[in-house]
Amino acid sequence: MSQTSAINLFDLDRDALVAFLVEQGEKPFRAKQIMKWLYQRNVRDLNAMTDVSKATRNKLLECTTTVLPGVQESQLSRDGTAKWLFELHDGNCIETVYIPESDRGTLCVSSQVGCALDCSFCSTGRQGFNRNLSVSEIIGQVWLATNLLAQEPATANQRITNIVMMGMGEPLLNYRQLVPSLNLMMDDLAYGLSKRRVTVSTSGVIPAMDKLTSDVDISLAVSLHAPNDELRDELVPINKKYPISELMGACWRYVEGEEAASQRKKHVLFEYVMLSGVNDQAQHAHELAELLRGFPGKVNLIPFNPFPQSGYRRSSRNAVERFAKILNDAGVLTLKRTTRGDDIDAACGQLAGDIDDRSKRHVKFIEPRFGEQIR
């Protein structure tokens, strides 16, 4: 079979791999063996999968690949934050960030090259949309990060304990590839992370939110950024299609869904990027407190990460403190992200990557951006 029509094993979650192997006349248990090699032993050379029979290996060598993105650039911050630029087969690049903390290590994963949603404060949105990532390009970020951390003496002890879909792109607009990727993140034969440790962040694509929460059990983060439609229309243009009242309806359905009733209490993490003079005033905090009153969630106040010609400034510490106090006094829990990895310009949510422009590749890291801690 030619290289182009070969199946990439990293594109298949467990069910798809079993189906593929059965189609090839193989026994379903081969899926278990192969997944353990791929994800737990970090081995992607089929020849090295010694408990798989030679005949099976030869057959798979004919019709499958285990191709992953290439490592274009690795950067390690003084505080342990790591950022990688991965090159895709078509020359596009994506960024992935690892943020170590005392009790966890969070990997911030990209879902698309660019983003079509054009939020006014987001540099990914500014670059426009190029294409969706495949499953192998999404889960490949986890595979590569695991290996790159292990290879570097300074990070050899670091583990990925949490994954947030907060890199480039809107994950819910790449639904078909997102769900198998999440399955692999949580599958015991792959990365085995609990649903508390896998978070999908969305700007509020409501139909996909409803579908996701019924298809796969994960943690949900919603990029709110404004307490009323007038302001949110400006900052997060998809709000014109899915306004705040409908978004809150979807959030309520998520926390009150059938599964939620029987299992642990669900909550939503609301992301709110603090833009000086734009959405950080006392009146916005009061409005937000009113909107979220009684809702099982927390608000994450994110420092704005500046980029050239953004037109926005990061809110002052005082403004953030005042905002948090108003919310806390009204009974709304807040988290404040701290800046991380600022010496390597690492930041989730405002990654630029590269779109089809090989000439720009070596100037990727000169923009002043700041990493942040994810709670």
By CB under 6 A, name the binding residues for ligand SAH. Answer: 119, 121-122, 166, 170, 201-203, 223, 271, 273, 302, 304-305, 348-350
Residue 119 or 198 with smaller CB distance to ligand SF4:
119
93 in active site: no
Q: Is 233 in the site for ligand SF4 (CB under 6 A)?
A: no
Choose which of 12, 38, 119, 327 interacts with ligand SF4 (CB under 6 A).
119
The two most distant CA atoms of the chain are separated, in Å, by 69
Going by DSSP bridges, is the β-strand pair 7-8/339-340 parallel, antiparallel, or unpaired?
A: unpaired
Strands (E), the chain: 7-8, 64-65, 70-76, 82-87, 93-101, 104-108, 112-114, 129-132, 162-165, 198-202, 219-223, 268-274, 297-303, 333-336, 339-340, 371-372
Other CB atoms within 10 Å distance of the CB of residue 90: 9
CA distance 273 to 287: 16
Selection from ligand SF4, ligand SAH, none that 273 binds (CB < 5 to 8 A by kind) is: ligand SAH
Which phi and psi (to 5°) does residue 48 adopt?
-85, -5
Residue 37 or 121 with smaller CB distance to ligand SAH:
121
Catalytic residue among 93, 108, 122, 348: 348
User: Alpha carbon 176 to chain centroid distance?
Assistant: 15
Contact between residue 108 and residue 161 where contact means Cβ atoms under 8 Å apart: no
Q: Which listed range, 49-57, 121-129, 150-158, 245-253, lies at the site for ligand SF4 (CB under 6 A)?
A: 121-129
DSSP label of 37:
I
Minimum distance from CB of 119 to ligand SF4 (Å)? 3
Of 162, 113, 160, 135, the closest CA to residue 17 belongs to 135
Selection from ligand SF4, ligand SAH, none that 193 binds (CB < 5 to 8 A by kind) is: none
Selection from ligand SF4, ligand SAH, none that 271 binds (CB < 5 to 8 A by kind) is: ligand SAH
Minimum distance from CB of 223 to ligand SAH (Å)? 4
Catalytic residue among 87, 95, 170, 372: 95
23 in active site: no
Choose which of 73, 79, 118, 233 interacts with ligand SF4 (CB under 6 A).
118
Q: Which residues make up the interface to ligand SF4 (CB under 6 A)?
A: 115, 117-119, 122, 124-125, 169-170, 203, 223, 349
Question: What are the residue numbers of the active site?
Answer: 95, 348
